Amino acid sequence: MSSAREEILQATTALLEKQGSHATGLNEIIRESGAPKGSLYYYFPEGKDQLVSEAVLAAGQGVAARIRANLADIGLAAFILRIAENVESSGFAAGSPLTAVAMETATTNERINLACREAYGLLVTAFQDYLQTNGVEPGRALEQATFITAAIEGGIILSRTYHTADPLRTVAGQLGLLRFGVF
Amino acid sequence: MSSAREEILQATTALLEKQGSHATGLNEIIRESGAPKGSLYYYFPEGKDQLVSEAVLAAGQGVAARIRANLADIGLAAFILRIAENVESSGFAAGSPLTAVAMETATTNERINLACREAYGLLVTAFQDYLQTNGVEPGRALEQATFITAAIEGGIILSRTYHTADPLRTVAGQLGLLRFGVF
DNA sequence: GTCTATATGCAGATAGAC
DNA sequence: GTCTATCTGCATATAGAC
């Protein structure tokens, strides 16, 4: 696997997370990634749309993998508290690599919008599988997974805006009270 | 009151809602607003940051006013369903004038970030007041209001991304089950 | 695979006429 | 209050050398 390609994707994800798509320039991506400047259009010949779409999808896969790796072990509330810690320790520059891009492009860039759908789908399905494993029937699990995803996304927005992990902790507490999958 | 100034603010809000701050150009704002081109820097001498900050704050005031005007009458679930209809009827171009801007600027533009905090504060307080009126004690009301705000924001993100009001309807249903302020 | 140079366009902002 | 002209800078993208 090309390491330059991976470095470009990772730098792109971090910048999308921090400031969205339109504010992120290709020069900035190259600078942050440390990858060779000439390699950007070599690895991503279709330009920025391709790069952003792939970064969004890779980010969704990464988050879904973390859900699957940790949620069953520690439970939902603790999982969200872990997100809160990550948001905080990033100086509120990270948290949800999808939100800003999804909102910017929902009706203005079809290719990236489709990537966002696919990425969010991975998250929702990961939560849904967890709930079904805990005995929730599929339809109900999808609704609850959608709700959980929405609440976490919203908590990230508020925490990043206010530069405090409190809103995410509140979301963890309130969702924790619901004991999804238990009753 | 100057009508050109108001038209510029309203056009700005709509564009911020649709595509965020960085993707929105001053020329685009003038074109959409129908306001005289020469008046932008006359009414907003500090430039784009001032314009966006004022638009964000005005949007927050507008949303808070709608919460106060309708929530007590129709209840939380119906209120969210009304949001879902608005998002749908805008062709998923509208819904939350704050989210995209808040995420783009959380750590990259202090002035706009402060405007976002103020605006979100207005929403949370409006929900909190509603809950307290229904007998929830203040601390608990703040937590529930934060949770409600987060869940709605997240629902808007998912609905706009998927071009369907379903996620917001799910949020309405799930939050409705909780009967905040009732027990 | 990676480089530099460059094409083209639009961004935000300012000056000064009217 | 509103206009046009213009400054400066950066954006994405491409061409072509190495």
> What's the predicted TM-score (pTM) here?
0.98
Establish if B16 belongs to a structural domain: no
Which pLDDT tens digit goes with each residue over B44-85? 999 999 999 999 999 999 999 999 999 999 999 999 999 999
Instruction: Kindly determine whether the C-beta of residue B45 is less than 7 Å away from any atom of nucleic acid strand D.
Output: no
Residue with tokens 């779409």: A53
Using CB atoms within 10 A of its CB, is residue B61 exposed (0-12), middle (13-18) or buried (19+)?
middle
Indicate whether B182 pLDDT > 80. Answer: no
Establish if A97 belongs to a structural domain: yes
Do the chains contact at A161 and B107, CB–CB below 8 Å? no
**Closest CB from A19, A103, A151 relative to B108:** A19
Indicate whether A179 pLDDT > 90. Answer: no
Tell me the CATH number at B61.
Answer: 1.10.357.10
Establish if A168 belongs to a structural domain: yes
Which pLDDT tens digit goes with each residue over A24-37? 999 999 999 999 99
Establish if B11 belongs to a structural domain: no
Establish if B91 belongs to a structural domain: yes
Question: Cα torsion for B56, B13, B141, B173, to the nearest 10°?
Answer: -160
Bases of strand C lying below 7 A from some protein CB: 1-4, 10-17
Contact A80, A152 (CB under 8 A): yes
**Domain of B84, in residue numbers:** 49-178
Establish if A3 belongs to a structural domain: no
Nucleotide nearest to A23 (CA to C1'): D11
Establish if B174 belongs to a structural domain: yes
**Closest CB from A20, A143, A178 relative to B104:** A20
Q: What is the C-alpha end-to-end distance of chain A, expressed in Å?
A: 46
Which pLDDT tens digit goes with each residue over A88-133? 999 999 999 999 999 999 999 999 999 999 999 999 999 999 999 9
Closest CA in chain A for residue B171: A147
Contact A51, A12 (CB under 8 A): yes
What is the pLDDT at residue B179?
77
Domain count, chain A: 1
